[in-house]
Structures are given as C-alpha cells and as structure tokens.
Amino acid sequence: MRSSRSLVALVLVPVLALACASLAARPGLTADDARKFLDDAQAKLKDLAVIASRANWVQQTYITDDTERISADANRDATAAGVQYALEAKKFLGLALPFDTKRQLEILRLGIDFPAPNDPKLNQELADIAASLESDYGRGSWCPKGAKEKCLQLPDIEHILASSRDPAELRDAWTGWHAVGAPMRQRFARQVEIANQGARDLGYADLGAYWRSKYDMPPDEFAHELDRLWNQVRPLYESLHAYVRACLAQKYGLDVVPPHGPIPADLLGNMWAQAWGNIFPLVAPESSDPGFDLTKILRDRNTDARGMVRYGEHFFVSLGFPPLPATFWERSLFTKPADRNVVCHASAWSIDFREDLRIKMCIEITAEDFRTIHHELGHNFYQRAYNQQPFLYEDSANDGFHEAIGDTIALSVTPEYLKKIGLLAQEPPESADIGLLLRQALEKVAFLPFGLLVDQWRWKVFSGEIKPASYNAAWWDLRRKYQGVAPPLPRSEADFDPGAKYHVAADVPYARYFLAAVLQFQFHRALCREAGQIGPLNRCSIYDNKAAGAKLARMLAMGRSRPWQEALAAMTGENQMDATAILDYFGPLKKWLDEQNRKMGAMPGW
C-alpha cells in the first residue's frame, strides 16, 4: 500500500460538472485565468504535500503525542488549502477550456479523501481525529489473560492467527485485537459527520458519492461496474469457499465449522479473513509440495531485510528501469525498531514527489514478505515514472492501478523467476501447479469479496443508510453476504470491528484494492502476451523481458494525465476492466475444486 497521505490521491471524473451543473463560470474569467490559478494552486499544494509527507513519515515511524500533533497540523494545513482551491475551482465551470486545464481543475476538486468543510475549527477537528485514530491503531495491543508484561502488538498477534491450530487460542487472539476498534467508534462517527459536510460543500450528496466520483464515470455506474466484476469471479470464489470450509470442518469438527454456513473468521489464518494462505497446510491437496520452501531458502541463505529488498529492486532493473536512489536505502524503514512504536503496515512513499522514495515495512524473512516487497516497490517505481508530470498528474490512472502494478510484478514471482535469480535449482513440474494455484487462490481469490465490502459498508455509512447504532451489525451482515464468514463469538454494538482494519482507522478508501485484484491479472495477461510467453498464464514471468518492461514504463509515465480507460488500453489494448483474466489464470484450479467438492459433498453457498 502506498502512503495514504497525499493531496494527489485519486482521479478525475469527466462528468464532474453534473454535480454542480447549476454553476456557471464567473463573468470575465478566461482560460488564461484558469491556467494561472492552476499553476499557483499546484505550486502551493505541492509545498504543503511535501511538508505533510515528512510529518506523516515521522508520525508513523516515531509514534508519540508530539509527532501525532505535528502530523495533524500538517494535514490540517494541506487539507485546508486543498479544500479552498477545490471550492475556488468551481468559478471556472462552464468555461471552454483546453483538455489539460479542464482535467486538472476536476482533479483538484476530487483530490482529498476526507474533505473538510471550509471552517477552520472543523478542519482542525477532522485532522485531530484522523491522527488520533491512526495512532491508536499503531499503538494497539492485546495482553493475553491480562498479563500486561506480555502484551502483544499486531504483528505478533497475526503470528498466532497464522500458525495456531487451537480454536480457543485463535478466538482469544482474534478477540484481543478486535478490541482496538471499540474506543474509535465515537470519533469515527464524528469524522463521518464532518467529512460528509465537506463533501456537500463541494457539491456531492455525501462522502461516498464523492469517492465514487473519482473513476472517470458517473458514481452509480462505477458501483455497477464493481458488481459486474464481482459477478464474473463469484463462482470461482464460491467453489474455493466450499472446498476450504469442508477441509476446515474435517480439521475442527462440524460443531466448530458448520457444513453449509459461514466460516468462523478466526480460522482462516488472517486477522480479517481477507487472505487465507496461512491455512494452506490444512487444505493442501495430496502431492502438492512444489519441492521448495521459499521462506526456508531465504533464511538458510541468511538473507536480511535489505537483501530481500535488493531482490525486488533487481526485478525492476531487469525490465529496464534504473536502480533506486541511494537515499531510498538510507531513509527507508525496513525492520521494526525495538525502542519505539511504529505503524508496521507496509507502505511506499514519495516524500518529495521526485526522488525521495521510501518504503516503510517491518520486514520478516518470509515468502509472503518477499512478494510484498515486490508489490511495494511497484508503487515506488510508478511514483518515479510519473514524476515529470505536473503535480496534479503525479498519480496513477486510477487508484486501483497503483495497487495493481506492484501485484502484477508479484505475479511474476514464479518458480521460473526464482530459478533465474538463483534461489531454486530447478522448477517444479506442471503436476505441482494445482498446489501452487491453490496457494495463490487462497491469497488472491479469497481477497476479492473483502476488497469489495469494506467500501460497500462505508458508502452506506456515509449515505446514512447505516446508522451509528448499527455499525457493527451491518459490518457483519456484509461480511456474511460477500465473504461467507462470521465472527467467532457474538458481537454487539459495544464493539467496532471495522476499526480493527487499518484502512478504516486510517481513512484509506478500499475499492482500489478490489480493482487492483482484478487489474493485476489483466495487466499480467497483457504483459505476458507482449513478452511472447506461451503456456499456462500462472507459469509466466516477465522478469528480464525488456519489451514487457518498455510497455509497462510507457503506461506508468502517463500518471493520471489521461482517463484510466486510455491508460488501460495502452497496457492491454482493452478499454474495459475484465476479470476473465482471473478465470484464465485459475482455470485448472476451478476444475479441480469442483471435482473435490463433488467428492466431499461440499455445496457452494452459505
């Protein structure tokens, strides 16, 4: 995940004028006036964005009351300026303007994830709430059985969810972490009130409508687009869910895992049941061992955190990209410090919107983090590729693109790639592909409904359809509907389980991750085609292919200067997002899952 604190956060909407159709350009204004306004705005906003980036970096890597205040103040100033310029941009609506001028004005009006009202007191309050929620998340801990001297923070609690096979221990760890959300509830509700007012000041019904207006299509059309993509892949997810549920029922018993109901969320190897790779040993097919354990290989070679990142950098260099700057290695945070609290959630940063690139990550020597590093560096190389664009264009074509690029590269972390870089002596045979595909599906396919529902919940909160009195019940209703998971024990409105997810606590829109989960396979299919690869899509790696690298670089350099449909076409030749690439990638697995479900009498659905 890239830094969540950026004034050039998202994309424009050509239909934006519909939101304020009654507004006309102020008499006497010209296209030259609009251009001068934008030049002044971009210079000021960039200066404030750099200040905020530095403050946010320090706040996340040195969590104290003082750094929280410094971060809140910097975000307050940046948000206030962004809101003021967004409001002023209205005066140019209705003018006949060149494409770039019109696009940049529209980006300016949609450039803040949580817009504050044009009121200094409310702006300050919103900034304070945002900083406090993120810090609460970073400081969150669980003390098993009340033993304060043995309190655990999230990485250690996640280890329990990943490795334990004791239902009682899993339930306690899950419950312990989810308690972090309850104190956030009242502040979150107040944050929604203020941000909704900010969105209304900009001409939108609520914050959800504002968020959905960032995708080069009408807000309602975007919501329908997500439903269309989900319905393309839902049969694959339901087959995977049925298979996993049957395997877990065999492991834990039907009294723990109901044969036809939702799966308890604490049994899926991940705090939010959003990725299930950690339970692969419980669901692995016979003869699924690929013949190597990447975690063991990395550890046996005494690979350290920097060495892990060097592997990722080398992948991009092999495609024709220049190496990362020296300051990246001097200023990034690669491991969790022993002397202070930090926000360990992995993120990629462009501090100065030029060459001061960094990642923040508490790296562990695991196969999962090996792939995560490739993902985070995808953000950094994207950030550098578009850094010659005007400030308002320094972002991805839409926010899903930014997440998808890193994941596209991670899809090329195949046995073939591992052999080429000397981590494997030989590739496993194709007979091992079902195991490899299942492991991938437990991460990628399992994530799809979660990626969709987080913002489904928030959009309903922002619109008022979900009231504060039913925050938690509505959260679990959506998780049952889309994921087919349930809490491991009864929950109430004394809980606030959405706050136990970083992106809710940190105000990061989440639809981008669902889009990225779709786009990465579409990108992968296109780049493999460009590289001249033949054979199964899951075996393709674009490592060391300059033709694929050149095609990728051309799209990255566009930033957000063109509508995302054009950027997609530049990469894939297609102008519509298409989840069929996921079905292509996992086709052999879908056939296998259906066969296993028939044998076990496992019926999809819950």
Active site residue 241: no
Q: How far is 528 from 542, CA to CA, in rounded Å?
A: 6
Q: How far is 213 from 220, CA to CA, in rounded Å?
A: 9
SS (H, E, C) 567-596: HHHHHHCCCCCCCHHHHHHCHHHHHHHHHH
Identity of the residue numbered 454: V
Measured in residues, the chain has a length of 606
From residue 520, give the alpha-carbon distance in Å to each of 183, 376, 416, 577: 36, 14, 19, 10
Give me the catalytic one of 210, 386, 513, 543: 513
Active site residue 375: yes
Active site residue 346: yes
Active site residue 493: no
Reported for 68-72, long-range contacts at CB under 8 A and 24+ positions apart, including other chains, are 68/131, 68/132, 68/135, 69/131, 71/131, 72/124, 72/127, 72/128, 72/130, 72/131, 72/132
Do the beta carbons of residue 478 and residue 456 sit within 8 Å? yes
Give me the catalytic one of 178, 375, 402, 524: 375
Q: In DSSP terms, which residues pair with 152 in a beta bridge? A: 142
Give me the catalytic one of 346, 348, 505, 602: 346
Active site residue 376: yes
Give me the catalytic one of 178, 379, 402, 524: 379
In the block, residue with structure tokens 């919107």: 353
Record the tokens describing residue 66, joined without a space.
Answer: 């003082």
Strands 357-360 and 263-264, sheet pairing: unpaired
Q: How far is 546 from 534, CA to CA, in rounded Å?
A: 17
Active site residue 503: yes
Give me the catalytic one of 178, 241, 345, 524: 345
**Which one, of 205, 201, 218, lies nearest residue 13 by Cα?**
218
Q: In DSSP terms, which residues pair with 153 in a beta bridge? A: 141
**Which one, of 426, 455, 553, lies nearest residue 208 by Cα?**
455
From residue 426, give the alpha-carbon distance in Å to each of 118, 393, 540: 62, 44, 16
Q: What is the DSSP string of 271-307?
A: TTSS--GGGHHHHPPTT---S--HHHHHHHTT--HHH
Q: What are phi and psi of 347, to 5 degrees?
A: -155, 155
Give me the catalytic one of 106, 158, 376, 530: 376
**Which one, of 367, 328, 368, lies nearest residue 348 by Cα?**
328
Annotated catalytic sites, by residue? 345-346, 375-376, 379, 403, 503, 513
